[in-house]
Amino acid sequence: MAVTYHSYRIDDIHNKLQIARFQPLDVMVTGVTGAGKSTTLNTFFQRTVAKVGTGVDPETMELDAYSLNDRIRFWDTPGLGDGVQNDKVHKKKLTDLLYKTYSLDNCTYGFVDMALIIIEGANRDMGTTYQLLNEVIVPNIQRDRILVAINQADVAMKGRHWLHDVNEPDRDLRMFLDEQANSIQRRVLEATGVNIIKPVYYSAEYNYNIHALFNLIVDNIPKQRRSLMK
């Protein structure tokens, strides 16, 4: 039975945000072009809220916000890897979003609370992912607010060992994906100096392990409002 994420762990989310004293939680979803950001959001919402690219051109060119409920809001963003000039424009949009602010009690806080970077399962463009992390994410948001996840688990071994009758990986693919998550954790540390939480792997297209991705977000909800980077 499909999980309804509108209400999934809603009490946990409410309690965490009560402690943090802000609401809703704003999560920026980003990654390289083709990583499946929009598909991931559509799977959370269990309906089409974000347009998905079907050709060689990316669909998401602007910044769009979608409220899952009154406690969580996701921001769909343009992916990098779409050409030098477009990437320059997209990096500015992402940076501007990370510096979007609000004021409360004479203090200024960052509007975005967390950044979720999605990597596609085949790892075809890790160079652009590291560029995204190094040039946009790491300098502009606290490191403990950065999460990484691996989408398209079904193609991680070129489609081999994916059990299409039950839409999940077999034992060999699970072992491969687990090692891939460990490897990306190490590689991100080497490339950016950020020791990220071990990424979860999932397939938005086949609705596999989406709960693990959602748990990654909920389990790491910040304990306070976000101060701006200095």
**What is the domain extent for residue 78?**
10-50+60-149+209-219
Is the residue at 16 inside a domain? Answer: yes
Is the residue at 83 inside a domain? Answer: yes
- pLDDT digit string, tens, across residues 177-218: 999 999 999 999 999 999 999 999 999 999 999 999 999 999
Residue 50 banded pLDDT, cuts 50, 70, 90? low
Is the residue at 180 inside a domain? Answer: no
The backbone region for 175, taken as left when phi is positive above 0, alpha when psi lies in -120 to 50, beta otherwise, is alpha
Is the residue at 80 inside a domain? Answer: yes
- pLDDT for 1: 54
Is the residue at 132 inside a domain? Answer: yes
Amino acid at 178: D
Is the residue at 133 inside a domain? Answer: yes
Is the residue at 105 inside a domain? Answer: yes
Is the residue at 24 inside a domain? Answer: yes
pTM: 0.92
Q: What percent of the chain has pLDDT over 90?
A: 82
CATH number at residue 128: 3.40.50.300
- pLDDT digit string, tens, across residues 31-44: 999 999 999 999 99
Q: Token pair of 9, please?
A: 């762990």
The backbone region for 167, taken as left when phi is positive above 0, alpha when psi lies in -120 to 50, beta otherwise, is left
- pLDDT digit string, tens, across residues 84-111: 999 999 999 999 999 999 998 889 999 9
The total domain count for the chain is: 1
- pLDDT digit string, tens, across residues 108-166: 999 999 999 999 998 778 999 999 999 999 999 999 999 999 999 999 999 899 999 99
